[in-house]
Amino acid sequence: MRYTLLALGTLLCAACRGGDDSDAYTPDLACPGDASGVCDLVEDAPLRAGAAVVSIVPECYETWQDSNGDHQWTGTEPIHDCGCDRLCPGDEGYPGPDEGEDDDQFQAQWLAGGGHSIPVNGVRDASMGLRGEGDGLWARALVLEQGNTTVAIVAFDLIGLFYDDTLRIRDLATTRGLDLDHLVVHATHVHAGPDTMGIWGPNITQTGYDPRYVEQVRSAAVDAIEQALDGLTEVTLTLGEVDAAAYSPEKGVFNVNSDTRDPWIIRNELRAARFADASGDTVATLVNWASHPETLLGSNALMTSGFVHALRATVEEGVTWDTYSRSGVGGPCIYINGALGGMMTTLRVDPIDPDGNEWTEKSFEAVDVIGQLLGEMALDAIEEGESSAAPQLSFQVEKFEVPIENHGLQAMSLLGVIDRATTRWDPEQPIDDDNLPWVVTEVDVLTVGSMQWLTIPGEPLPELIIGGYDGSRVNAPGKELVSSDNPNPPDLEAAPPGPYLADLMTAEHKWIVGLGNDELGYIIPAYDFELHSGVPYVLPAEGHYEETNSLGPDMADRIEKVAAALLQWTP
């Protein structure tokens, strides 16, 4: 097994867990306490926070006529050739011709997450769903500052961003003169936004990545960070968490989440954090949950942030059911998706709302029900949480390299469908076990008082975080740890005994940030990594879809070793 020098260092550190050789390993970046002295610890410094929200709905795209209602463009269905602003002569407010108008070229944005050839056909509007309000896609930024340490977090309503674009956002923030020690980039993994990875274009051989749109996304991120920096104010922090399974006696956690891959293991705690200013007003709230926002997968071509929209709106503005209503806490809410691999999803979920209605059809109403239920849980977590002033802020960062063993992803890279930098191979020679492309990625640990974040550069299965192979994490009446009719069940006797990543985290409130700074696909325990016998990585082995979207069987082990080193390091 091949490792980079950095990864070898993490192995050495992990091997001396709890020993006297902890100074043998130093992260790439750590604050306070970086060797440069730029972010030295300032004793008793207050924590300050600021937040901002900027739209990332594309500035330029054209729509089309979905003649048969299947949401897939055949290449012959009529386009509305009205240019970037989608206004043609005769339309109300028509300002005159703009870029791309009447040129017989389809300026499409390709919807990510549901298959190929799905051009976006607008944005979900106020007539759809329970809340009577429009939707959208957003860059939501939080900046935290304490003494000489300043960290920004930006969460995008996107399928994912590769590490290359994370670095470009950081570079743009530097170019704009923003004084940051570190920036964490996160994607909420919505399946109804433009393709920012390239995989969901017009067909399997053509990219869906639009450099101009992603440039808009990068600029929006830095705009949001800049606004958040301008609004920095001293804050107190309230942290809480609730058990999502406890809210539905009939269904348990299955009322809001599902696991489509055995073993059925769900991390059912929903976590929330609220930053409040001196007058008690909300500066920002954060909510940490883990699920794919994909309820309408395959039956929608409108841009929407899915259940994440209703969750955030509930926390910010409140909610109204037939039987009661409830106020929100104000301020911008930022959703952080967690260990969503394996697969945590709203598909197959038929939620029962507080009025007793069960929503069994795919609809924007059902999407809103799930989001509002989760939003209320977040409000409960905040109400029941504990507050603290001047919690200590710190972070550690480690960059490392991983190989692309997935044949399908290798082919997409060679075709230009996926465009990201690779290392450690000779592009002039055939790809084989001795000539694999590698990519650079990153793991971070961010601590704010008793809240600790561990960023994972992809979609980890929750069992990597919490175990649960003993059946203790089913929490859904009627669901089995391993389905009795599974023709290809996992061998749980081969499952790792732990400790798991949550066991290594040192704070009380343990947040996993999936798709943190990168999207490397599913992170799967090695014992249960199974490939198709004939066409590995291209076709799935039965019950093992996730492997087709994973870099390879060593990914979990490599990431765990880096994470363990960061979590056990002290200045």
pLDDT tens profile 536-556: 999 999 999 999 999 999 999
User: Does residue 33 lie within any of the structural domains?
Assistant: no
More confident residue, 413 or 4: 413
Q: What is the pLDDT of residue 157?
A: 98
Gyration radius of the chain's alpha carbons = 23
pLDDT confidence tier of residue 463, bands split at 50, 70 and 90: very high
Q: What is the pLDDT of residue 109?
A: 98
pLDDT tens profile 334-351: 999 999 999 999 999 999
pLDDT at 20 over 50: no
How much of the chain, in percent, has pLDDT values that exceed 90? Answer: 91
First to last CA, the chain: 30
pLDDT at 4 over 50: no
pLDDT at 55 over 80: yes
| CA atoms of 117 and 108, how far apart (whole Å) | 10
Q: In which region does residue 188 sit, left (phi positive, over 0), alpha (psi from -120 to 50) or beta (all else)? A: alpha
In this prediction, residues 403-415 reach a mean pLDDT of 96
| CA atoms of 187 and 156, how far apart (whole Å) | 5
Report the SS3 class of residue 387: strand
**In sequence order, what are the residues at sequence separation of 6 or more whose Cβ sits closer than 8 angstroms to the Cβ of residue 556?**
460, 461, 464, 523, 524, 525, 526
DSSP string, 226-248: HHHHHT-EE-EEEEEEEEGGGG-
pLDDT at 299 over 80: yes
E strand residue ranges, 352-437:
386-389, 393-403
Phi, psi at residue 126, to the nearest 5°?
-70, -15
CA distances to 82, 97, 263, 467, 543 from 472, in Å: 56, 61, 11, 9, 22
Three state DSSP letters for 497-541 = CCCCHHHHCCCCEEEEECCECCCCEEECCHHHCCECCCCCCCCEC
User: Does residue 462 lie within any of the structural domains?
Assistant: yes
Whether 371 and 295 have beta carbons less than 8 Å apart is answered as no
pLDDT at 498 over 50: yes
pLDDT confidence tier of residue 490, bands split at 50, 70 and 90: very high
| CA atoms of 344 and 471, how far apart (whole Å) | 17
Tokens at 36, concatenated? 């440069």
Domain count, the chain: 1
pLDDT tens profile 190-211: 999 999 999 999 999 999 999 9
**CB atoms near residue 176 (< 10 Å):** 12
User: Does residue 67 lie within any of the structural domains?
Assistant: no
**In sequence order, what are the residues at sequence separation of 6 or more whose Cβ sits closer than 8 angstroms to the Cβ of residue 247?**
255, 256, 373, 377
More confident residue, 13 or 37: 37
Report the SS3 class of residue 344: strand
Q: What is the pLDDT of residue 22?
A: 44
| CA atoms of 76 and 453, how far apart (whole Å) | 48
Q: What is the pLDDT of residue 2?
A: 26
Q: What is the pLDDT of residue 313?
A: 98
User: Does residue 483 lie within any of the structural domains?
Assistant: yes
Sheet containing 233-234: order of strands:
182-187, 149-156, 138-146, 47-55, 233-234
**CB atoms near residue 389 (< 10 Å):** 11
pLDDT at 11 over 70: no
Write down the residue that tokens 């003169």 correspond to.
Answer: 177
**CB atoms near residue 315 (< 10 Å):** 33
* E strand or H helix at 316: helix 307-317
Q: Dihedral sign, CA of 554, 335, 224, 452?
A: negative
User: Does residue 501 lie within any of the structural domains?
Assistant: yes
Tokens at 108, concatenated? 């499409």
In this prediction, residues 118-125 reach a mean pLDDT of 96
User: Does residue 284 lie within any of the structural domains?
Assistant: yes
* E strand or H helix at 319: strand 318-320
Phi, psi at residue 495, to the nearest 5°?
-65, 150
E strand residue ranges, 103-210:
138-146, 149-156, 182-187
| CA atoms of 87 and 82, how far apart (whole Å) | 5
| CA atoms of 76 and 73, how far apart (whole Å) | 8
DSSP string, 448-496: ETTEEEEE-SSEE-THHHH--TTTTT--STT--SS-TT-SS---GGGS-
Q: What is the pLDDT of residue 33?
A: 76
In this prediction, residues 121-139 reach a mean pLDDT of 93
Q: What is the pLDDT of residue 37?
A: 64
**Eight-state DSSP code of residue 560:** H
pLDDT tens profile 238-277: 999 999 999 999 999 999 999 999 999 999 999 999 999 9
Tokens at 143, concatenated? 């900046």
User: Does residue 230 lie within any of the structural domains?
Assistant: yes
pLDDT confidence tier of residue 17, bands split at 50, 70 and 90: very low
Of residues 285, 289, 288, the one with CA closest to residue 256? 289
Report pTM.
Answer: 0.94
Whether 540 and 548 have beta carbons less than 8 Å apart is answered as yes
pLDDT confidence tier of residue 333, bands split at 50, 70 and 90: very high
CA distances to 137, 206, 335, 415, 560 from 108, in Å: 17, 13, 28, 20, 39
Phi, psi at residue 440, to the nearest 5°?
-90, 140
Tokens at 519, concatenated? 């999207």
Q: What is the pLDDT of residue 285?
A: 98
Range of the domain at 52: 47-56+133-392+439-568
pLDDT confidence tier of residue 14, bands split at 50, 70 and 90: very low
Tokens at 417, concatenated? 């469908």
pLDDT confidence tier of residue 12, bands split at 50, 70 and 90: very low
Write down the residue that tokens 């060679």 correspond to.
Answer: 414
User: Does residue 346 lie within any of the structural domains?
Assistant: yes
DSSP β-bridge partners for residue 510: 452
Q: What is the pLDDT of residue 8?
A: 31
Q: What is the pLDDT of residue 92?
A: 95
pLDDT at 233 over 60: yes
